[in-house]
């Protein structure tokens, strides 16, 4: 059986969440919206349109959405050459690949942003494919991105594992019926990740790597494992 190791990217493999918060905050500020940074942080992981709905409400002027997204993308792009990889993210992906897992990135990023993120991770040789939100009708927390990633890996949901840092990641993985692993590196609490469906939670990629043989990745046939 092909075993899929699915990974969110921002906040999970690359330390970019606060860069996104700053970029969204400035884009919104320039358009006259006063949105606190903590609210933006908790909305990260949603596709841009859903993020704006979450922050500004469904009654907002949708005509602003494209301009706000473009402003965010332009601001965030200024960081492309210095995106910081989280500790041991590259080693974790290579270790899983050597153990027979098919590693697939599950991200809303595309184009130049995805190129910058994969460059930051530095483990192209371990990555089987990347599933972008642009490839599906609905982004996280819908299960569509996870289903698409499983298709790319040629793997069933049973025995596959999805690692992410947001409640939206955990909700998407739960709906897709894969085992969900949460990381605290994105700034969301253990309690919130577990409440959204995380079966186990680790500090960051390095912590998961240190406990890999006692994690869900040690028992792909059952999709469960003891907590570290």
For 173-183, the pLDDT digits (tens) are 999 999 999 99
H or E segment to which residue 180 belongs: strand 179-183
Are 100 and 158 within one domain?
Answer: yes
Are 93 and 194 within one domain?
Answer: yes
List the domain range (segments joined by +) for residue 172. Answer: 3-16+84-218
Instruction: Say which residue the tokens 């908790």 belong to.
Output: 42
pLDDT tens digits, one per residue of 98-151: 999 999 999 989 899 999 999 999 999 999 999 987 888 899 999 999 999 999
Q: What pLDDT does 174 receive?
A: 98
Q: What pLDDT does 61 receive?
A: 87
* Residues 130 and 149 sit within 8 Å (Cβ to Cβ): no
Instruction: Say which residue the tokens 């050597």 belong to.
Output: 98
Are 71 and 90 within one domain?
Answer: no
Are 46 and 143 within one domain?
Answer: no
Helices (H), 99-143: 111-121
Are 49 and 93 within one domain?
Answer: no
Q: How many CB atoms lie within 10 A of CB 64?
A: 16
Phi and psi (nearest 5°) for 22? -60, -40
Quick one: which of 5, 19, 4, 6 has its CA closest to 120?
19
Does this model's pTM top 0.85? yes
16 secondary structure, DSSP code: -
Tokens found for residue 114: 């995805």
């Amino acid at each position: 059986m092909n075993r899929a190791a699915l990974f969110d990217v921002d906040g999970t493999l690359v330390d970019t969440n606060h860069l996104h918060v700053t970029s969204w905050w400035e884009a919104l500020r320039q358009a006259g919206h006063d949105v606190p940074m903590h609210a933006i942080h908790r909305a990260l992981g949603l596709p841009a349109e859903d993020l704006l709905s979450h922050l500004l409400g469904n009654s907002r002027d949708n005509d602003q959405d494209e301009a706000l997204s473009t402003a965010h993308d332009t601001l965030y792009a200024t960081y492309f050459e210095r995106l910081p990889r989280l500790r041991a993210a590259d080693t974790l992906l290579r270790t899983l690949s050597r153990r027979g897992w098919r590693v697939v990135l599950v991200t809303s990023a595309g184009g130049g942003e995805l190129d910058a993120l994969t460059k930051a991770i530095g483990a192209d040789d371990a990555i089987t494919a990347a599933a972008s939100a642009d490839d599906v009708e609905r982004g996280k927390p819908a299960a569509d991105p996870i289903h698409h990633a499983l298709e790319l890996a040629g793997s069933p949901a049973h025995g596959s594992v999805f690692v992410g840092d947001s409640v939206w990641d955990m909700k998407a993985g739960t709906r897709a019926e894969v085992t969900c692993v949460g990381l605290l590196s994105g700034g969301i609490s253990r309690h919130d990740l577990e409440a959204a469906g995380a079966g186990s939670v680790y500090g960051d990629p390095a912590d998961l790597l240190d406990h890999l043989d006692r994690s869900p990745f040690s028992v792909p046939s059952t999709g469960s494992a003891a907590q570290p």
